[in-house]
Amino acid sequence: LNLIEWSAQNIVAVALDGSVCLWNHTSAEVLKLLEMEQIADYVSLVWTEEENYLAVGTSNAELQLWDVQQQKHLRTMTNHSSCVGCLGWNSYIPSSGAQSGHIHHHDVRVAKRHVATLAGHTQEVCGVKWSLDGCYLASGGNDNLVNIWPSGEFACVKIFNAVKAVAWCPWQSSVLATGGGTSDRHIRVWNVSSGTCLHAVDAHSQVSSILWSPASKEFVSGHGFADNQLDGQATSSSGHTGRVLNMTMSPDGVTVASVAADKTLRLWRCFEMDPIKQKQREKAKSVRSSSIHPGIP
């Protein structure tokens, strides 16, 4: 499941069983955005590109869209037939992966919102990520495959061996990192244009999440059995007593938040921000906020 995500507005969204809580990292304020009706229900989540909206997938096969500023439920999409466990976002298109092995695209601008179904996995979809340029969607499944889907097409063009962890390189749009499960335990870096494996590293444990750092041009990985830790290029961070389930990075690229099966959320200072790059980032953010497209209708 997508259990945690950190927005550019410094808001951490956390899925706790059947509820979604928002934690303002600046003010430390905590707000419960939603809670499912049934005690056995559970949810996953992803911020939209505008970051005032949150897409929420549920165990009862729904995809919900919420206005965070207004704390308002906007709509529910019900095309899935099973639990929606992972989510991605590309412009106006939320992409949701389900236990059935299907991925659905919805266009939130139109009345008939379901616009495509991708059927490339034979088991549960457990990770979906759009490349930063919006040209490719990577999906990982419990069938030990990662499929690469070109935008606007319904057939995958590349198939790699991996499971849940999929992460696009921020500075090379055709480079993808994937992480294998308990039987594989490898991190591989791929060129999706050519289909070649650029690097392969034995992580010695299940890989559950990968995050790239644009500042230091390296990545940190989260692990389950048997290490339950975070690994970077030079250091390892241990503290969780259960397997790491999901990770997210702060807007400044310095801090990583992890959630684990030990029912804790932990913050790790994994990277250092270059002062020059920090100024460039703040300038770029200012330009982006002044030109962002209108809100979701």
pTM for this one?
A: 0.86
Domains 1-160 and 164-278 share a fold: yes
Task: Kindly report, residue by residue over 17-52, the tens digit of the pLDDT.
Answer: 899 999 999 999 999 999 998 888 999 999 987 778
pLDDT over 70 (residue 278):
no
Burial class (CB in 10 A: 0-12, 13-18, 19+), 53: buried
Spell 144-176 as b/e; 16+ CB within 10 A means b.
bbbbbbeeeeeebebebebbbbbbbbbeebbbb
Query: Mean pLDDT over residues 119-137, rounded?
Result: 93
C-alpha distances in angstroms, 264 versus 44, 193, 261, 296?
17, 39, 7, 34
Residue spans of the domains in the chain: they are: 1-160, 164-278
Q: Nearest 5°: phi and psi at 75?
A: -165, 165
Query: Mean pLDDT over residues 104-115, rounded?
Result: 86
Task: Kindly report, residue by residue over 239-252, the tens digit of the pLDDT.
Answer: 899 999 999 999 98
Fold of the 164-278 domain:
Methylamine Dehydrogenase; Chain H (2.130.10)
Lowest mean pLDDT among 96-110, 163-177, 236-250, 277-291: 277-291
Architecture of the domain whose range is 1-160: 7 Propeller (2.130)
Instruction: Please count the helices (runs of H) and the strands (runs of E) in the chain.
Output: 1, 27
